[in-house]
């Protein structure tokens, strides 16, 4: 029988973070850096030591080499501690987390960021016959299978960004294969008309056949069945349609939505348990347009900055005064979160490479800079006398 263990000396406030995805890594490094002088110990728990770059898995799936990033190395000199293990249970009443069914870690504040995986239970046959991209091992398995095919058809199910990127990459790296992209909506349906036109032209150039406006009702050993009993023969089926989260939050008694995500208030605190925060895909963060979609661009701002401790005032307040996720400004927030700063120790995956344009996700002509600090106009000019000089917001959101 295992016993409960704290994660540091007595009198220390223990912040336990579950999940080292984009949001979890950002939150752990930011929080550890800002609580160095406080009696706070930050512990990050993840099942693997290797950081999984979800938005690079389609590259691995086509046999391309990507950087292998080690989580303990990324956390070095940040002050955060790493524990490797599978989270098997959360007891929100006792404030404990069970690891590998053999260890129990206590916490004072829990940051729940276990993320999501591909939903393979929604359609019959997906679990048995389709490939997914949930981790490096899945991507490597698919790459080996594609390399052995001398020809044939690959069906990619899902018209989202993962599906589009995977279909395009497979078609480009394996021109001997016929690639079919199947989705309920047109590829890039949420993009602008100009972006959709560009996307469609790129897929056409690569020879990707697009079938939209229909759903896959069953995955067969040798193909997929569409609504209306139409069948598409396939040698390989890659499933990228939809995700699901871990049932641990619901089992722990936290208030969750219909998809099992932790329901939070505007400060990312659980509405049912004030000592629990939720970030990334595991959180149901409501915005003016609906619930925040789980991506790298939206996940990282939920972890940068994360909950912190302020001496005498407890743990759980946001680093930024007034920084409430009620109106998260989308791409601009993601761009600022990715910009390395003075206290942002982690400059690895996602921070500088979260999108095709690298550090900045917007076209150059749409980046806003104060006139006297425009990077393309030589040295910064002095601000007009009598006016307070304006600085661009720092990545951590704090005023300078």
Q: Give the separation between CA 276 and CA 376, rounded to whole angstroms.
A: 44
pLDDT of res. 340:
37
**What are the residue ranges in the chain where pLDDT is below 50?**
1, 306-381, 383-400
pLDDT of res. 176:
96
Q: What is the CATH number of domain 126-241?
A: 3.50.50.60
How deeply is 371 buried, as exposed, middle or buried, from its count of CB atoms within 10 A (0-12, 13-18, 19+)?
exposed
Q: Give the separation between CA 38 and CA 24, rounded to whole angstroms.
A: 21
pTM as predicted: 0.74
pLDDT of res. 174:
97
Q: Give the separation between CA 116 and CA 97, rounded to whole angstroms.
A: 19
pLDDT of res. 37:
78
Place of tokens 């949930």: 134
pLDDT of res. 8:
59
pLDDT of res. 352:
34
pLDDT of res. 359:
38
Q: Is 219 left (phi over 0), alpha (psi -120 to 50) or beta?
A: beta
DSSP labels, 288-353:
TTEEPP-SHHHHHHHHSS-EEEETTTEEEEESSTT--GGG--HHHHHHHHHS--TT----STTTTT
Question: Would you list the domain boundaries of the chain?
Answer: 4-115+246-338, 126-241
Q: Give the separation between CA 388 and CA 386, rounded to whole angstroms.
A: 7
pLDDT of res. 9:
65
pLDDT of res. 286:
78
Topology alike, domains 4-115+246-338 and 126-241? yes
pLDDT of res. 395:
43
- Architecture of 4-115+246-338 per CATH? 3-Layer(bba) Sandwich (3.50)
pLDDT of res. 349:
37
Closest CA to 29 of 346, 354, 353: 346
pLDDT of res. 10:
66
């Amino acid at each position: 029988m295992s016993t409960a263990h704290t994660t540091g000396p007595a009198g220390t406030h223990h912040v336990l973070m579950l999940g080292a995805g984009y949001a979890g890594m950002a939150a752990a490094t930011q929080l550890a850096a800002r609580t160095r002088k406080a009696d706070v110990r930050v512990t990050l728990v993840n099942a693997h030591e290797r950081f999984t770059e979800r938005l690079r898995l389609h590259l691995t799936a086509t046999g391309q080499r990507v950087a292998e990033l080690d989580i303990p190395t990324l956390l070095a000199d940040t002050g955060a501690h790493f524990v490797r293990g599978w989270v098997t249970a959360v007891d929100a009443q006792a404030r404990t987390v069970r690891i590998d069914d053999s260890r129990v870690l206590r916490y004072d504040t829990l940051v729940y960021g276990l993320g999501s995986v591909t939903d393979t239970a929604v359609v019959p046959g997906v679990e048995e016959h389709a490939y997914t991209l949930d981790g490096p091992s899945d991507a490597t398995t698919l790459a080996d299978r594609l390399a052995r095919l001398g020809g044939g058809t690959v069906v990619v199910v899902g018209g989202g960004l993962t599906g589009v990127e995977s279909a395009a990459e497979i078609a480009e790296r394996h021109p001997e294969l016929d690639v079919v992209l199947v989705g309920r909506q047109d590829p890039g349906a949420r993009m602008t008309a100009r972006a959709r036109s560009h996307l469609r032209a790129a897929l056409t150039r690569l020879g990707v056949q697009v079938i939209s406006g229909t759903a896959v009702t069953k995955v067969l050993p040798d193909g997929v069945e569409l609504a209306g009993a139409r069948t598409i023969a396939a040698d390989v089926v890659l499933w990228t349609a939809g995700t699901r989260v871990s049932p641990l939050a619901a089992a722990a008694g936290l208030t969750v939505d219909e998809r099992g995500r932790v329901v939070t208030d505007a400060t990312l605190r659980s509405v049912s348990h004030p000592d629990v925060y939720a970030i990334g895909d595991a959180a149901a963060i409501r915005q003016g347009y609906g619930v925040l979609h789980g991506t790298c661009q939206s996940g990282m701002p939920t972890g940068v900055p994360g909950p912190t401790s302020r001496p005498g005032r407890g743990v759980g307040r946001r680093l930024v005064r007034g920084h409430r996720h009620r109106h998260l400004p989308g791409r601009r927030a993601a761009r600022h979160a990715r910009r390395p700063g003075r206290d942002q120790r982690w400059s690895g995956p996602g921070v500088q490479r979260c999108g095709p344009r690298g550090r900045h996700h917007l076209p150059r002509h749409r980046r806003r800079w104060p006139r006297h600090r425009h990077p393309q106009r030589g040295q910064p000019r002095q601000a007009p006398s009598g006016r307070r000089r304006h600085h661009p917001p720092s990545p951590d959101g704090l005023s300078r």
